[in-house]
Amino acid sequence: MVPPIVEARGLTKRFGKVEALAGLDLVADSGQVVALLGPNGAGKTTFVRTIATLVRPDAGSLRVDGIDVVDHPERVRRVIGLAGQYAAVEEAMTGRENLAMVARLFGHDRSTARANAHAVLAQLGLTDAADRLVRTYSGGMRRRLDLGASLVGAPRLLLLDEPTTGLDPRSRIDLWDAIRGLVAHGTDVLLTTQYLDEADQLASQVVIIDHGRVIAEGTPSELKARAGRDVIEVHALRADDLAGLAGALAPLGSEAPWLDPATRRVTVPVVGGRQAINDAVRALDVLGVEVGDIALRRPTLDEVFLTLTGAPIDSPSADDIHEPPAPAVPAGTA
């Protein structure tokens, strides 16, 4: 019987007054991408750093591929590859030199290290830039090289801490493709993200973390089903119409409508499905406001998160180049 690639039981870690991990339980089976989803400060990074043996837990147990991280950290380090929030590569070396160095530190001899570096560079589409100093690389290239550095040792479990934070959309999609390529070849991946679409795109198991605990887990579709109800989404033509639309839709919803001024959308969870959308169309007729678009759909992970935690996922910091779709906010707090 293959042990789970990650098995955490009651994992606790405190930094001063902050309880970063508060009895986290998680079992991740081999053969999939697991996404840890949660706002800033939820404990995602602490959990990844604990798996990487960079943080020692205060209590609870954590096994990686069946190996206890506290008892045998050096054996755990042979199983994992870590790519962090920063591109931890040496700017004054070429891409090839960076990868060869890390391959040597994984224990490869000189020629194997060189061969691995070559293969990984090709895999990540960096062959053309391989012999340039990293200080000439773009942000996306650095991030891919960083991913490559965690790969040259052929780890069984790849830990990616917010791998695409701060990347432009194009680089983000490239990196997603790279991650999918790895999974197809049998590397297990555990990634953290604040981006719901990222979890949705990449992961077969999504674990939602808040305040150092797992609050929900499942496949993306299971989680969406768990949030239950379908939603009706109305796209307004004018921002001024939003409040009126929300008022008209409110009686149909099982919860208060959410307004998203940035995208001029009103969203409301409904119970009745097809009947509900008929009612909605009628309500809009009565209101007499012209709308761009009206649809009945499954909830997004954004909405799932909102339902489960009562709070939207933090918006990304202002310096992020890539802005994911702004989360909906409940009417009244907007």
Q: Which of residues 71-100 bind another protein (CB under 8 A)?
A: 73-74, 77-78, 80-82, 84-93, 97
What residues numbered 118-147 form the site for another protein, per CB under 8 A? 119-120, 122-125, 133
Q: Which is nearer to another protein, 146 or 233 (CB)?
A: 146
Read off the tokens for 301. Answer: 């992970």
Cβ neighbours for 91, distance < 8 A, ≥ 6 positions apart: 133, 134, 135
| Pairs from 109-113 (Cβ < 8 Å, separation ≥ 24) | 113/152
Quote the least distance from Cβ 301 to another protein, whole Å: 11
232: part of which helix (H) or strand (E)? strand 230-236
Nearer of residues 188 and 241 to another protein, judged by Cβ? 188
Please state the closest distance from residue 70 (CB atom) to another protein, in A. 9
Nearer to another protein, 83 or 236 (CB): 83
Cβ 125 to another protein, closest distance in Å?
A: 5
Only segment of 17-25, 195-203, 242-250, 305-313 that touches another protein (CB under 8 A) = 195-203
180 binds another protein (CB under 8 A): yes
Q: Give the span between the Cα atoms of 281 and 237, in whole angstroms.
A: 15
In this structure, the dihedral spanned by the alpha carbons of residues 37, 178, 300 and 244, taken in order and rounded to 10 degrees, is 110
Which of residues 15, 18, 25, 31 is near another protein by CB under 8 A?
31
Does position 12 bind another protein by CB under 8 A?
Answer: no
Applying CB under 8 A, what is the total number of residues that bind another protein?
A: 73
Contact between 266 and 245 under an 8 Å Cβ cutoff? The reply is yes
235 binds another protein (CB under 8 A): no
What is the token pair recorded at 328?
């909906």
d(CA 104, CA 224): 44
**Residue 32 in contact with another protein, rule: CB under 8 A:** yes
Does residue 36 touch another protein according to CB under 8 A?
no
Please compute, for residue 127, the number of CA atoms within 13 A of its CA located in the half-sphere on the CB side.
8
Nearest distance from residue 114's CB to another protein, in Å?
A: 12
328 near 259, Cβ under 8 Å?
A: yes
182 vs 209, beta carbon nearer another protein: 182
Look at residue 291 and give its three-state secondary structure.
Answer: strand
Nearer to another protein, 44 or 108 (CB): 108
